[in-house]
């Protein structure tokens, strides 16, 4: 993906320069013709007005297409990041390309509404982030697949982060799934409930001291 984006951006820049050169040559030729043949002014004015309206309509259509195409949005955001950040700090990003030394490890929920970088303002190189459903960290299991544990080990032993920050949030779908689990062990999903069993102790404690509260309040208590 990185190579494709770089190639696309490079090709776009070359095409943009070519288009600019063509525009400048055409513009100079147009001014020369109008100056040499005064009778062309009225015709040229009418043509320019028609062309301007056509271009304006084209811009509106292009804006609609970009707004409705999620991949165009992503591409434009990447180009904006490159122009406003990457190209303005070449030394900083060159250093990041060779190493990282974040002060924080962040364990956050996968929920799309609570991105740590946006909420806490982390910049590239400042935080090593792992995101899981309900920001849970599973206990060590000998024959398991320790993705979260591996990330923790790398952050602590290799990157030597100074702080580990766990971020929870309200109205968490994972916690709601945990609190909705059947007491008889019935499973209604392939993976979610299996993952959420990690939080079973929290569920039992919440059910115990918040039994008199309605379900939404129980979920809120469990999130804490």
Which tens digit of pLDDT belongs to each residue from 203-218?
Answer: 999 999 999 999 999 9
pLDDT score, position 66? 62
pLDDT at 7 over 60: no
Give every strand in the sheet of 127-132, ordered side by side.
127-132, 104-109, 163-167
- The tokens describing 113, both together, are 């509404």
Mean pLDDT lowest among 20-29, 101-110, 114-123: 20-29
Q: pLDDT band for position 3 (50/70/90)?
A: very low
Mean pLDDT lowest among 17-31, 79-93, 132-146, 165-179: 17-31
All CATH 3.40.1050.10 domain ranges of the chain, comma separated, are 89-167
* CATH T-level topology, domain 89-167: Beta-carbonic Anhydrase; Chain A (3.40.1050)
Mean pLDDT lowest among 58-67, 92-101, 116-125: 58-67
pTM (2 d.p.): 0.66
Q: Interhelix angle for 2-36 vs 40-68, to 10°? A: 160
Burial of 197 (0-12, 13-18, 19+ CB in 10 A): middle
pLDDT score, position 17? 56
Q: Within the chain, where are the H helices? A: 2-36, 40-68, 70-81, 90-98, 116-120, 147-153, 173-180, 192-196, 200-209, 215-223
Residues flagged as binding site for Zn(2+):
109, 111, 169, 172
- The tokens describing 174, both together, are 């994972």
pLDDT score, position 15? 58
Residues flagged as binding site:
109, 111, 169, 172
Q: Considering only residues 69 and 171, tell me which one the structure prediction assigns the higher pLDDT.
A: 171
């Amino acid at each position: 993906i990185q190579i494709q984006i770089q190639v696309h951006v490079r090709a776009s820049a070359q095409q943009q320069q070519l288009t600019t050169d063509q525009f400048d040559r055409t513009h100079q030729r147009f001014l020369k013709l109008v100056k040499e043949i005064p009778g062309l002014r009225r015709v040229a004015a009418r043509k320019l007005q028609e062309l301007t309206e056509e271009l304006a309509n084209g811009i509106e259509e292009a804006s609609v297409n970009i707004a409705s195409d999620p991949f165009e949005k992503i591409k434009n955001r990447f180009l904006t990041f490159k122009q406003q950040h990457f190209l303005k700090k070449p030394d900083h990003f060159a250093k990041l390309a060779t190493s990282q030394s974040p002060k924080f490890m962040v364990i956050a929920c996968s929920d799309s509404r609570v991105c740590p970088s946006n909420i806490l303002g982390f910049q590239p190189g400042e935080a090593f982030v792992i995101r899981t459903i309900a920001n849970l960290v599973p206990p060590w299991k000998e024959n398991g697949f320790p993705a979260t544990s591996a990330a923790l080990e790398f952050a602590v032993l290799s990157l030597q982060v100074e702080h580990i920050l766990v971020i929870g949030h309200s109205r968490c779908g994972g916690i709601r799934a945990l609190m909705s689990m059947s007491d008889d062990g019935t499973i209604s999903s392939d993976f979610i409930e299996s993952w959420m069993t990690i939080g079973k102790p929290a569920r039992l404690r919440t059910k115990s001291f918040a039994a008199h509260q309605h379900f939404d309040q129980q979920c809120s208590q469990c999130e804490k």
